[in-house]
Amino acid sequence: MTGFILNQINELNNKAEVLIKDSSILDPLSGKTRVSDILVKDGLIRSVDKFLDAGILQPAEKNASGSDKVNISSKDNLIIIDAKGFVATTSFFDMHVHLRDPGNEDEEDIESGINAAFHGGISALCCMPNTDPPLDRDYMIQYITGKARKLDFNIFPVAAMTKKMEGLEITDFGLLKESGAIALSDDGFCVQDAKLMYEIMKYSRQFDIPLILHEEDYSFSRYGLMHEGYYSSKLGLEGISSLSETLMVQRDIELAKKTKARVHFTHLSSKESVELIKKAKEDGTDITCDVTPHHLCFDDSSLNGYNAIFKVNPPLRSNHDRQALVDGIKNGIIDTISSDHAPHLEAEKNTTIKNAANGVTGMETFFSSSYTQLCSKENFQLQELIKILAYKPYKILGLKPPAIMPGEKAEITLIDTGRDVKVCKEFFSSKSANSAFIDKNLKGFIFAAINGKKIRINN
């Protein structure tokens, strides 16, 4: 087709319209679907109706090969996407992303991070504060929000809850929130001092700003390289007990009960943590949590052979733990899925496990990896997965979710659930390709994404 190039993000001119034909529109909140067309103009959804039935357009002509299937065509200033058989939903929200900007822009920057998000059908994300320097001052938050506005993308910065993320002195929560911080976290680090954590929770409650907590007791994890278990013994590597996480989860559940703070536990990794969260919720404690796709899909056996790509923090734990995380999603204990997108240079991962950096990229495989593991393998319902990815994060953060209805900004993702994704290094729009899913076939292809005046078609 003419007008834009596949696999690139393109600005639509003011006169261009996009018509998505015959898609199965899935509402994330209700889980209900309806087949209809969606007309987008100037970044807004103008109508949701059956245009062909109304005689507005004639069916597209056959393509050059003579096939009746025309996925994309153009007519004057109209881009037509034949989405019959595709699922259309509001785009996803990733609550845990490392954009590396400022400080490590060779790994990722805000623009390349947006490209990676858009590739994965994501239209909103939270960027974590462990940049260089950390996001612990108002002008640092304004730097992020200013770039996000310029690029017209929903980036919600998470500010540091302690100065320099050292776990010693509380930052100015009120000023950070006023500057645009959506939440507070020392992600990558954990406040070890229980009294200080208690004061942080009381202070966050005063300003009604949520905390996103990375839970790690350093006395158990300081020298560890992977989960403590059979494979750490087999490989002769220092292990990290799941107590490193669960002791802190237990502590902070108790502090949350006492302070009534809004607490979200991020990247859970152990069966015991899921059990603690379940009991706390049953007791009426207002807490939420997430898990990553790589913790749902892999366990510590992935490091057999010393494959440093699977070195992450918290570590991949036993298959018993992994299944408990899957069950936690299926049973509604775990609220959402976040990628913990952590870009690294090739040299930082292609080395020994001891020297390798922690983390994997995840935004571009965000949906397909979750869909493959949960829907294809565990019979989880697609509508429930969409609710987890596209609605729950907004609820957790107290934000208004997007909707596919007239007058709303176009934040639309088209999914071909019948098509596989072959993940290779050339697949990525991110500056980094340290993905746990390299050379894997995943199910659930993000065919297209629209975010305001931008459109991306993946071939």
- Which residues on adjacent β-strands are paired with residue 213? 265
Q: Given CA atoms 297, 300, 301, 306 in this order, what sign does their dihedral have?
A: positive
How are the residues of the chain apportioned to helix, strand and coil, as percentages rounded to the nearest 5? 30, 25, 45
pLDDT in tens, 91-149: 999 999 999 999 999 999 999 999 999 999 999 999 999 999 999 999 999 999 999 99
pLDDT in tens, 77-86: 888 999 999 9
Mark 341-360 as b/e (b = at least 16 C-beta within 10 Å): bbbbeeebbeeebeebbbbb
Q: What is the pLDDT of residue 326?
A: 98
Task: Tell me, yes or no, if 340 is annotated catalytic.
Answer: yes
Catalytic residue among 340, 416, 420, 439: 340
Average pLDDT of the segment spanning 236-256: 98
Question: Is pLDDT above 60 for 5?
Answer: no
The per-residue pLDDT of the chain, averaged, comes to 93
pLDDT in tens, 308-367: 999 999 999 999 999 999 999 999 999 999 999 999 999 999 999 999 999 999 999 999
In this prediction the pTM is 0.94
Q: What is the pLDDT of residue 82?
A: 93
Domains (ranges, CATH) in the chain? 9-88+407-457 (2.30.40.10), 91-397 (3.20.20.140)
Q: What is the pLDDT of residue 8?
A: 54
Q: What is the pLDDT of residue 14?
A: 57
Average pLDDT of the segment spanning 284-296: 97
User: 3-state DSSP call for residue 131?
Assistant: coil
